[in-house]
Structure 1
Amino acid sequence: MAERKHDREFVRTFFTSPTAVQGEEDSAKMIRSASGLRGMQAPDVWVPDNEDATAPSMRDEGADNIVEVVAENGADFPGEIHPRIVWHRDSPATRYQCLQHLLQIADPEKGAIEHIDGFVIPEVGDIDDWKKADEFFTIVENEYGLDEGSLKMSVIIESGQAELAMGTLREEMGKPTNNLERLFLLVDGEVDYTKDMRAITPTGALPEWPELRHNTSRGASAAGLIAVDGPYDDIRDVEGYRERMTDNQAKGMLGIWSLTPGQVVEANKSPLPPQTGSWLLDTGTQQVELTDEDGVQVYDGDRVSLEEDGGSYTLSVGGDEQTLDEDELREELLDLTEYVPSMDDIVDSMEEFEAAREGGTGAIAMEQSATLRIDGVEIDVSNDRMWDEATYQAAMTPIKLFQDVYENRPDQHEDLADLYSEDVVDRAMSVGQ
């Protein structure tokens, strides 16, 4: 993974809001409201959206609104502020409008730019197109006496050209002929990507594009950037949103576009370690979370059954039956179960490994044990997981995420203490240091 060039190592939430709403007495009402978000409702990156979310006829007014609202409220906003402005790889007129809006918003005399961390550029094409946008940033920085590279640039991957361009970033960034090191986020835009790819589905729904999400995550990792998934349009489908984030996180894509403050809350919490640990049981079709009843992990479904008869056990999973002795049953249940560690569990394991390492031990065994109850039959299971330096470093990813959140989002300190307790927070901030 390339060295990251920006203080933020993680972005969980990318929240867009229209910059100008037609027919309203205050056309800036949406971004004015968004600028007041705090705590878990406030995103890591707020995007006053002067492109798709704002009608073309309102975009000049939208640029004025960005200046007004950010100058007034930007100092107190707890996340980073990255307006999205117009751009298109095939339209010189649109790119010219981008430059005009950049110059308008970045004018230091208007008081907004000191609170703006960067800008989001949509509809980019191949790498030469990215360089054109970067050059506009450099022109604006020189026009107003800003440090070259001080304005971050994030791009939305909405075309096959842009997807292929991610593969050349490692070679292009850092060359003296560009300032592409200003790049910050790579954001998927599946709607326009689907249009660009001329993709068709029977229902007209968007393809899931797992390859695009993988490629964006890989491109971000290789270039030292941060990957963010695109919008999840069904804002009432909270469980689907969570499943999408879980799938993304397994690809290393910890950030996602949020369309409502409710989605922001879900996305802010999703990549953080859980408050309590839980056991999962594979039922043959899905993993279900077992219910903790006074320390016993209970399965209460109909896909798995267990009977005992004189020391012999009959285990049925999805209709497949096995007759097992007690040791065989334990082995089978160990194959069917997984443990999801809590924040406290992760910190405990890391502290134990750090102590062992300081004492000269390179690897230690960590035991996981539980009592399972299926159809009233209880069985104790346990296994040992070896922890070495590689395991420790892998466990650091969620802890580093937590530390990054804690350092950059003081407005969430109270929420995090309520979630984990002050003691666990303090310990999590100390491990790995």
Structure 2
Amino acid sequence: MSTQRRHDREFVRTFFTSPTAVEGEDDSAKMIRSAAQLRGMQAPDVWVPDNEDATAPSMRDEGADNIVEVVSEHGADFPGEIHPRIVWHRDSPGTRYRCFQHLLQIADPEKGAIEHIDGFVIPEVGGIDDWKKADEFITIVENEYGLEEGSLAMSVIVESAAAELAMGDLREEMGKPDNNLERLFLLVDGEVDYTKDMRAMTPTGGLPPWAELRHNTSRGASAAGLIAVDGPYDDIRDVEGYNERMEDNRAKGMIGIWSLTPGQVVEANKAPLPPETGRWLLDTGDGTTELESEDGTQFYDGERIGLDETETGYSLRVGGDERDLGEDELREELLDMTEYVPSMDDIVDSMEEFEAAKEAGTGAISMTQSATIVIDGIEIDISKDRMWDEATYQAAMTPVSLFQDVYENRPDQREALAELYGENVVERAMNVG
């Protein structure tokens, strides 16, 4: 089975859910009506009118009607993809039948919504045979309405141990003639129900971090040519925590995350993009701190690290540890303590330089990063050399590929990207690779 991606999007940063029907409102569809009109950085890559957990069971039939009404009216202008979440449960034939009824209702071409819908999100799946049942329902609906077979994507919420194990079966099962699992698009973690399924407990009653689940979902998506998305981050006011979670996810290859509010959508849309400006980080012994940049010089302004000149060289203090060092020794120590986070411009510069060298017949080149660091008024020049070969180039291409994917698929964000990076950098970034 090939891991080649089968959908237009190679990356999904944001998976935004909104209830399809709100009880006690004059307009029960007001939440999805509002979400359908989001644009720019507030609009997600994937919008999920949520007719499952976000909508009360008694309102779900009305919610299906609302999806049809709102998507038929606003779907053509929505800048992201639209993937409604509908009911399903691995242990409930009645729930699966209701899913089928909602599929038939929403996908009816005469109602005008399905032409704007890219696929459906199926929750509470179990083993691989259960995934095939959902796929078969969608296949039947496609045939019922004369839609191209496989044209509707299917994304699943991984919220059971059985679903987690099923991800390991995808490479073998996808592409067999008895299923259309090639329609799979997103693998989305649902840590709340997963915690319940695992009978897991924490002293505070909060969710475990489930780093293993996030790793397994990312690995399963990569192996099957799909896209992995992390579950919801419930503390919507904790912007710092949300960004830390996304940074940890990106180190696992999981770019996308569930967003619960337009504010979270903005954070998650911007977070994986390369930074506008480069920055130097200094390891202080109990974490890292960003150095203040002024006219190309990097200043440390903290209490944890101190530097004094002595008769024989320098005295460097890190926390409670103090060492006497010569100038070369100090330079080597600071090299070990510092890291550089490249900007988009830096990444594109390096890629262009490597592409030029490769065209000239050179397989590897050395790239230099230099800085003047000031600690307690004392200036020290440091310089790092890094070898760039084809593997380094391909790794550097990942954030640029993400940028290119966003630029191609989200024209409503192009103005914001040009303001962030400048027209010249945007143009160059679109031409590398």
TM-score (norm 2): 0.99
> Is this contact kept in 2: 1:311–1:326, CA < 8 A?
no
Distance 1:60 1:264 in 2: 28
**CA distance, structure 1, for counterparts of residue 42 and residue 57 of structure 2:** 28
Q: Does 1:308 align with 2:314?
A: no
Write the mapping of 1:192-211 to structure 2, written as runs, cut at 5 A: 192-211=193-212
Equivalent residue letter for 2:115: E
Q: Does the 8 Å CA contact 1:185/1:228 hold for their aligned counterparts?
A: yes
Q: Quick check: 1:58 aligned with 2:79?
A: no
Equivalent residue, structure 2, for 1:93: 94
- The equivalent residue for 1:397 is 398
Matches within 5 A, 1:243-262: 243-262=244-263
Match of residue 357 from structure 2 = 356
Query: 2:332 maps to what in 1?
Result: 331
Matches within 5 A, 1:153-232: 153-232=154-233
Once the two structures are superposed, residues 347-378 of structure 1 have per-residue CA deviations (whole angstroms, 9 ceiling, x without a partner) of: 00000000000001111000000000111111
Classify the secondary structure of the residue corresponding to 2:140.
helix
Alignment match, 1:320: 321
Once residues 16 and 25 of structure 1 are traced to their aligned partners in structure 2, the CA distance between those partners, rounded to angstroms, is 21
1-structure distance, mates of 2:216, 2:319: 36
Per the alignment, residue 152 of structure 2 pairs with 151
Matched to 1:418, the amino acid is: E
- For residues 243 and 374 of structure 1, the distance between their equivalents in structure 2, rounded to whole angstroms, comes to 28
Would you say how many aligned residue pairs link Structure 1 and Structure 2? 432
Structure 2 Cα separation of the partners of residues 310 and 144 of structure 1 = 86
Q: Secondary structure at the match of 1:72?
A: helix
For the residues of structure 2 that align with 1:260 and 1:310, how far apart are their CA atoms?
A: 59
Partner of 1:267: 268
Look up the SS of the partner of 1:187 in the other structure. Answer: strand
Distance 2:9 2:366 in 1: 34
**Cα contact 1:117–1:151 (8 A) shared by 2:** yes
Which residue in 1 is equivalent to 2:5? 4
Q: What is the rounded CA distance, in whole Å, between the counterparts of 2:86 and 2:120 in structure 1? A: 7
* Number of the residue aligned with 2:26: 25
Deviating 4+ runs (over 4 angstroms) = none
* Counterpart position of 1:13: 14
Cα offset for 1:302? 1.1
SS in 2 for 1:266: helix
Instruction: Give, in angstroms, the shift of residue 309 of structure 1.
Output: 1.7
SS state at 1:366 partner: strand
Q: Write the distance in 1 (CA, Å) between the matches of 2:303 and 2:196.
A: 44
Q: What CA deviation, in whole Å up to 9, does each residue of 1:181-229 have, x standing for no partner?
A: 0000000000000000000000001001000000000000000000000
Identity of matched residues, %: 83
Whether 1:134 aligns to 2:145 is no
Q: Which residue of 2 aligns with 1:286?
A: 287
Alignment map for 1:33-44 (pairs within 5 Å): 33-44=34-45
Q: Distance in 2 between matches of 1:190 and 1:307?
A: 50
- The question of 1:70 aligning with 2:71 is answered yes
Cα distance in 2 for residues equivalent to 1:136 and 1:316: 66
Cα deviations by residue, 1:320-350 (Å, 9 ceiling, x for unpaired) = 1111000000100000000000000000000
Question: Which secondary structure state, in structure 2, belongs to the residue aligned with residue 284 of structure 1?
Answer: coil
1:234 corresponds to 2:238: no
Q: Displacement, 1:310?
A: 3.3
Gapped runs of 5+ residues in structure 2? none
Does the 8 Å CA contact 1:245/1:254 hold for their aligned counterparts? yes
The whole-number CA distance in structure 2 between the counterparts of 1:75 and 1:246 is 33
Q: CA deviation at 1:389?
A: 0.5
- 8 A contact 1:13–1:256 mirrored in 2: yes
CA distance in 2, matches of 1:311, 1:232: 53
1:3, 1:9 → 2: CA distance?
10
- Aligned letter for 2:129? D
Q: Which amino acid aligns with 1:269?
A: K
Matched residues in 1 for 2:321 and 2:106: separation?
A: 65
Aligned-partner SS, 2:28: coil
* Superposed CA offset, 1:84-105 (max 9, x none): 0000000000000000000000
- Distance across 2 between alignment mates of 1:225 and 1:318: 45
Map Cα deviations across residues 128-153 of structure 1 (whole Å, 9 max, x no partner): 00000000000000000001110000
Comparing 371-380 with 37-46, which one deviates more in the overlay? Answer: 371-380
CA distance in 2, matches of 1:347, 1:408: 20
- Write the distance in 2 (CA, Å) between the matches of 1:88 and 1:311: 73
Q: 1:295 to 1:311 in 2, by over 3 A?
A: farther
Structure 2: how far apart are the matches of 1:132 and 1:295? 59
- Aligned residue for 2:351, secondary structure, equals helix
| CA apart distance, 1:311 | 5.0
Indicate whether 1:417 and 2:422 are aligned: no
1:301 positional shift: 1.1
Q: Give 3-state SS (helix, strand or coil) of 1:120's partner.
A: strand
What TM-score, normalized by structure 1, do the two folds share?
0.99
Match of 2:372 in 1: 371
Deviations 1:82-127 (A, max 9, x none): 0000000000000000000000000000000000000000000000
Summarize deviations over 1:47-75 as a string: whole Å, max 9, x none: 00000000000000000000000000000
Distance 1:390 1:213 in 2: 25
